[in-house]
Amino acid sequence: MQENYKIGGIIYKNKLCIILGSEIETSEINTQGKTGSAHNLCYFPYLKDIKAFSKEMQNHIKNITLSSQRANISAYELIDIVEKYNGVLIPAHAFTPHKSFYGNCTDRLEKIFKEKYSKVPAIELGLSSDTFLADQISELEEKTFLTNSDAHSLPKIAREYNKIKVADISYQELMKAIRREDGREIVCNYGLDPKLGKYHRTYCEVCNKRIEGPAPVTKCDTCDSRNITMGVFDRIEIIKDKSKTKSPDFRPEYKYQIPLTFIPGLGGKTIDKLLDTFETEMNILHKLSFDDIEAVCGEKIARNIIDAKEGRMQISAGGGGVYGKVCKTDTP
């Protein structure tokens, strides 16, 4: 493993580029004068940069060695520290209810970043939203959308991912793609159907149930309580300023995928067997035919994988921290 001294990133076996980064929680004052928290992805080109950044952040974070500690500064201040060490700041899972800008702090990123808003090149959509939902907010028209997996464990890596056009693997090339410079770009966003995300619809914390019904749902339809966890779908309905989704011309295709762990009938052993044979989940979900899969794990499972891929499964939406579910439809 070695550092790419000219253009950033850590290169492994000439095939893999690791981008150095940190997710920082900032403190924002919302319109009611209350404190909200938002997560920020901070990416850096070189080890020396992220080390110096980390050192400076010790002034703003107690217990910096624990994960998810909140910094006592706002993103408006954080972005300057990130840039001082040659990094880039991108709002993380921008719509989730507890720890994000739109979910917890503001209806407009411009109110947070003010004259620095143009320095933010992209937002991370998060699992409960997609391009079509986010493109109902006009201040996002210039921003690139990232479908990162936000994986907190190894098997969840690539449950969402970006297909990126670059000339080589490096930090510099990735940043060019995010900024859509010199022909570099994100060519496809692969993501969950947002209904599968943990925070898609509003959830009543008193009745412990997800609330259906036309968005935006802002209180429980059973107990009338406003002790709810707002769904991403409901939140976007409140803050959107376009009546119809109109994506800018550069916006790449958003391809839905249902990860193997969501597909009915697929246990750990079968998934291991599939991965041993076909190497990656991307291969299994997007490249293989029914016959390829059937040869390894039988007709029933192959049918479920292909049905999920081709949109023939029903999805019951997630909410309140519980993922959505994939169910088989009755049609043969």
Contact footprint for Zn ion (CB under 5 A): 39, 92, 204, 206-207, 220, 222-223, 225
Q: How far is the CB of 262 from Zn ion (least distance, A)?
A: 21
Closer residue to Zn ion (CB): 205 or 299: 205
Closer residue to Zn ion (CB): 8 or 36: 36
Give dist(CA 240, CA 200) in Å, integer.
Answer: 16
Closer residue to Zn ion (CB): 61 or 207: 207
Contact 47, 124 (CB under 8 A): no
Q: With residue 89 as reference, give the H or E element that holds it.
A: strand 88-91
Q: How far is the CB of 250 from Zn ion (least distance, A)?
A: 26
Q: How far is the CB of 126 from Zn ion (least distance, A)?
A: 9
Q: How far is the CB of 208 from Zn ion (least distance, A)?
A: 8
Give dist(CA 274, CA 14) in Å, integer.
Answer: 27
Q: How far is the CB of 204 from Zn ion (least distance, A)?
A: 3
Closer residue to Zn ion (CB): 213 or 267: 213
Q: How far is the CB of 57 from Zn ion (least distance, A)?
A: 16
The helix, strand and coil proportions of the chain, stated in percent and rounded to the nearest 5, come to 30, 20, 45
Closer residue to Zn ion (CB): 228 or 302: 228
Give dist(CA 174, CA 84) in Å, integer.
Answer: 19
Indicate the DSSP class of residue 203: E
Closer residue to Zn ion (CB): 169 or 217: 217
Q: How far is the CB of 102 from Zn ion (least distance, A)?
A: 13
Give dist(CA 56, CA 50) in Å, integer.
Answer: 10
Closer residue to Zn ion (CB): 176 or 198: 198
Q: Which candidate, 125, 21, 27, 139, places its Cα nearest to that of 82?
A: 21
Neighbours of 14 (CB within 10 A): 8
Q: How far is the CB of 88 from Zn ion (least distance, A)?
A: 17
Closer residue to Zn ion (CB): 210 or 240: 210
Residue with tokens 């939203």: 129
Neighbours of 179 (CB within 10 A): 14
Contact 230, 201 (CB under 8 A): no
Contact 5, 171 (CB under 8 A): no
Neighbours of 149 (CB within 10 A): 17
User: Which residue intervals of 180-330 are DSSP H helices?
Assistant: 232-239, 268-278, 281-286, 290-297, 299-309
